[in-house]
Chains A and B, each alone.
Chain A
């Protein structure tokens, strides 16, 4: 139990002064066209839409709304590049171009991180320390594979696929673009990438990087737009492979759409990860892991630890410490370097999260939120936990994609594993215990693609990522991520 003596004193009158990252270093155009065949071009039907800062509700820029005509143009440019310069290039030279992209992202890291936080609402601390460095690292890692593919697939010959159509979500815009583009290029493919509707800007800045790096025209094409453009890309007969990150429902639709075609696909879909805390865990560290698991990036994380399974004997202590810790989380201006939790990405997403808060209470869950102040404008959600929920509750089963944690308890190991696996998802999981043998027992028993033991939400370009069951097909990252972009032959 949390006793008054060991309770941290957070109410000591300390206030953080604002420490906003300045935005004067970035350049953004008022309007962006589509990046096709090495140039920014206006969309065929002349339509544009606004991209909004979710922390201020102010317009940042206007971006092109690609139609199926534009998609067709982009795919044709990618095909021409594949049949032309890129396809004929020596793998080692291909690699050098990808290295260049990594280096330029590093050089322009500050600009990228500010734009990422402006456009998507994530705290600058995360875009600066996680998204942007990892994006550069991803290009750097895969660049080196370009001329070493024969060592990745023993006994087989790896060949490129052709044109890859790639559709990414709004939660890690630049990072997801790099997860998609880097391995595709390393394996000799060309790409057409469609960023999410609410977060197009860093992908467009990445297009600038691609141009600055001198890649042959058409190797990387970036088209902004809605689901209409995404659907057109999936259905386009000139595409050889689809890589999609997003919801399980859309992933299912894509898998159905691709049925009967010869297109390869990888799907990185939803999750509802259980973070399991055993009584013998280092409790303070585990509480940090819980916070990182569910409140990282406002909970807009497919591998978020959105279910907490805590052993009954320490449940009161863990929950008390978690509530204390939640009080310290600073929610607000994404550009402030002290901010822990930024803005919810869009009004649609906020509405979805709030509907789940309602459902959780209606189903009998007990809701607790931190008491922090929220800014007047923008889209915000306080860090939220639910106790008293059961396995059949929707907030235990559905992916909410927000800072909302469902807490359940367990007594025995078997019960923890059963509850953890009782979901159609299987993307990630967490386990906290000081006993090595127990770690291996649990990590083996959880049916999920990424397991964090005594840590959570760590990522690295060398580390494969992807789900079991309805969390997706295929892996991204690491040696295993190459498999998504090659066909193997004798």
Chain B
């Protein structure tokens, strides 16, 4: 008995933290919520992110945005590809977390595979969506006129509650591949993967501030995600009419673009097409005279 104990190794549990500006702080509020498994055993004490955490995230996201938008499409594509590489290397950890959150082993394996492939998919769009969506416009006057896409700016994302990794990635990847930066509220009921994914982002050399991930309560944080005056677009994926109304009403204060991704099949082409990129892009049209 004693020798058995002597040989037993105590596992090191991870502290799940927030991801803001390329760093992993705890919530400034000092609050937590306990995540339990089906039997009621505490898996982790998650950070219960606050309004202040969100506001701090907007500041760093704004700061990072112009530099990220200026990076070449090739570079952004490689960063997304790198995220996929890092995720592939940590498959087992994510499978374990998905199972811990209630997934079956088979479903967990499917989700990680799809997640990795989704990143590759959007990585490939980095230097292509512009070609698909831009235009040279044949105006009648003697001008050269063209329309290109530019990132909308800073995006707040209320990630889907029911798809903690694939849904998360299907929202982050199209936003950042197009040069936006974002602040993401992770799934409330299954928040583990999101924090581990932040570590993946970090090790993939995603510049600090480009993606910021918070954990916390939907009911508390939604209004801040929708109302912040320095956020240019808000994406929401859950909730009924009441949530839609709240988000859209508050978004109107600074004419945010509102993207509803409710009832999406995260595994299908709904969540894998370039229109998810153009959702958070602005069309800029430039005129110049042709002549001497």
Interface residues of A (CB under 8 A from B): 137, 154-156, 248, 251-253, 255-256, 258-260, 267, 269, 424, 439, 443-444, 448-455, 458, 460, 462-466, 468-473, 475, 478-480, 488, 490
Task: Give 8 A-B contacts (CB < 8 Å), ordered by A residue.
Answer: A251-B255, A260-B245, A443-B284, A451-B285, A465-B285, A472-B255, A488-B275, A490-B270
By Cβ-Cβ distance, the 3 closest A-B pairs, closest first, are A260-B245, A259-B248, A255-B252
Tell me whether A458 and B255 are in contact (CB under 8 A). no
Does chain A have a CB within 8 A of B115?
Answer: no
Tell me whether A259 and B245 are in contact (CB under 8 A). yes
Q: What distance in Å separates the Cβ of A131 from its nearest Cβ neighbour in chain B? A: 15
| Chain A residues within an 8 Å CB radius of B282 | 449, 468
| Chain A residues within an 8 Å CB radius of B287 | 450-453, 455, 458, 463
8 Å CB interface, B228-266 against A = 232, 241-242, 244-249, 251-255, 257
Tell me whether A462 and B249 are in contact (CB under 8 A). no
- Which listed residue (B138, B139, B255, B274) contacts A470, Cβ 8 A? B255
Given contacts A448-B284, A468-B152, A469-B255, 4 further A-B contacts (CB under 8 A): A255-B251, A452-B287, A463-B285, A471-B255
Q: What distance in Å separates the Cβ of A276 from its nearest Cβ neighbour in chain B? A: 14
* A463 to B140 Cα, complex, angstroms: 10
Tell me whether B137 and A463 are in contact (CB under 8 A). yes
| Chain A residues within an 8 Å CB radius of B245 | 259-260
- Which listed residue (B244, B246, B255, B284) contacts A252, Cβ 8 A? B255
Most buried by A among B253, B284, B285: B285
The 0/1 profile, CB within 8 Å of A marked 1, for residues 126-152 of chain B is 000000100101111101010100101
Does chain A have a CB within 8 A of B93?
Answer: no
Task: Name B69's closest neighbour in chain A (CB-CB).
Answer: A444
Most buried by A among B152, B244, B251, B283: B283
* A267 to B248 Cα, complex, angstroms: 14
Tell me whether B275 and A458 are in contact (CB under 8 A). no
Tell me whether B135 and A479 are in contact (CB under 8 A). yes
Q: What distance in Å separates the Cβ of B52 from its nearest Cβ neighbour in chain A? A: 24
* A255 to B152 Cα, complex, angstroms: 18
* A464 to B282 Cα, complex, angstroms: 11
| Chain A residues within an 8 Å CB radius of B244 | 259-260
- Which listed residue (A154, A155, A256, A464) contacts B285, Cβ 8 A? A464
| Chain B residues within an 8 Å CB radius of A452 | 286-287
Does chain A have a CB within 8 A of B269?
Answer: yes
Tell me whether A464 and B283 are in contact (CB under 8 A). yes
Main secondary structure of the interface of B (DSSP, over half): mixed
Tell me whether B252 and A155 are in contact (CB under 8 A). no
Tell me whether A260 and B286 are in contact (CB under 8 A). no
The 0/1 profile, CB within 8 Å of A marked 1, for residues 152-172 of chain B is 100000000000000000000
Tell me whether A449 and B286 are in contact (CB under 8 A). no
Task: Name A449's closest neighbour in chain B (CB-CB).
Answer: B284
Q: What distance in Å separates the Cβ of B262 from its nearest Cβ neighbour in chain A? A: 11
| Chain A residues within an 8 Å CB radius of B232 | 469
| Chain A residues within an 8 Å CB radius of B147 | 463-464, 478, 480
Tell me whether A460 and B141 are in contact (CB under 8 A). yes
| Chain A residues within an 8 Å CB radius of B275 | 156, 488
Task: Name B248's closest neighbour in chain A (CB-CB).
Answer: A259
| Chain B residues within an 8 Å CB radius of A251 | 255
* A156 to B275 Cα, complex, angstroms: 9
- Which listed residue (B139, B274, B284) contacts A462, Cβ 8 A? B139
Task: Name A267's closest neighbour in chain B (CB-CB).
Answer: B255
Most buried by A among B241, B286, B289: B286
Given A472-B255, A478-B147: A449 in contact with B141 (beta carbons within 8 A): no
Does chain A have a CB within 8 A of B78?
Answer: no
Does chain A have a CB within 8 A of B273?
Answer: yes
Given A463-B145, A478-B147: A454 in contact with B135 (beta carbons within 8 A): no
| Chain A residues within an 8 Å CB radius of B106 | none
- Which listed residue (B137, B270, B288) contacts A478, Cβ 8 A? B137
Task: Name B244's closest neighbour in chain A (CB-CB).
Answer: A260
Total number of B residues with any Cβ neighbor in A under 8 Å: 40
Tell me whether B257 and A473 are in contact (CB under 8 A). yes
Given A259-B249, A469-B232, A490-B269: A458 in contact with B241 (beta carbons within 8 A): no
* A225 to B283 Cα, complex, angstroms: 33
Q: What distance in Å separates the Cβ of A101 from its nearest Cβ neighbour in chain B? A: 18
- Which listed residue (A156, A255, A449) contacts B283, Cβ 8 A? A449
| Chain A residues within an 8 Å CB radius of B135 | 464, 478-480
| Chain B residues within an 8 Å CB radius of A258 | 248
Q: What distance in Å separates the Cβ of B149 from its nearest Cβ neighbour in chain A? A: 10
Task: Name A255's closest neighbour in chain B (CB-CB).
Answer: B252
8 Å CB interface, B209-225 against A = none
| Chain A residues within an 8 Å CB radius of B248 | 255-256, 258-260
Q: What distance in Å separates the Cβ of A132 from its nearest Cβ neighbour in chain B? A: 14
Tell me whether A455 and B255 are in contact (CB under 8 A). no
Given A154-B132, A156-B275, A454-B288: A462 in contact with B138 (beta carbons within 8 A): yes
Task: Name A451's closest neighbour in chain B (CB-CB).
Answer: B286
* A470 to B256 Cα, complex, angstroms: 8
Most buried by B among A444, A451, A466, A468: A468
Given A453-B287, A463-B137, A463-B285: A259 in contact with B252 (beta carbons within 8 A): yes
* A455 to B287 Cα, complex, angstroms: 7
Q: What distance in Å separates the Cβ of A425 from its nearest Cβ neighbour in chain B? A: 10
Tell me whether B283 and A454 are in contact (CB under 8 A). no
| Chain B residues within an 8 Å CB radius of A466 | 283
Q: What distance in Å separates the Cβ of B147 from its nearest Cβ neighbour in chain A? A: 5
| Chain A residues within an 8 Å CB radius of B140 | 137, 460
* A488 to B273 Cα, complex, angstroms: 12
Q: What distance in Å separates the Cβ of A462 from its nearest Cβ neighbour in chain B? A: 4
Tell me whether A424 and B288 are in contact (CB under 8 A). no
Q: What distance in Å separates the Cβ of A118 from its nearest Cβ neighbour in chain B? A: 27
| Chain B residues within an 8 Å CB radius of A455 | 143, 287-289
Q: What distance in Å separates the Cβ of B234 from its nearest Cβ neighbour in chain A? A: 12
- Which listed residue (A137, A256, A450, A490) contacts B252, Cβ 8 A? A256
| Chain B residues within an 8 Å CB radius of A470 | 254-255
Tell me whether B285 and A453 are in contact (CB under 8 A). no
| Chain B residues within an 8 Å CB radius of A473 | 255, 257
Q: What distance in Å separates the Cβ of A458 from its nearest Cβ neighbour in chain B? A: 5
Most buried by A among B147, B152, B255, B283: B255
| Chain B residues within an 8 Å CB radius of A260 | 241-242, 244-245, 248-249
Task: Name A425's closest neighbour in chain B (CB-CB).
Answer: B255
| Chain B residues within an 8 Å CB radius of A480 | 135, 147, 283
* A480 to B242 Cα, complex, angstroms: 31
Tell me whether B253 and A252 are in contact (CB under 8 A). yes
Task: Name A436's closest neighbour in chain B (CB-CB).
Answer: B288
Tell me whether B273 and A475 are in contact (CB under 8 A). no
Given A255-B251, A255-B252: A463 in contact with B283 (beta carbons within 8 A): no
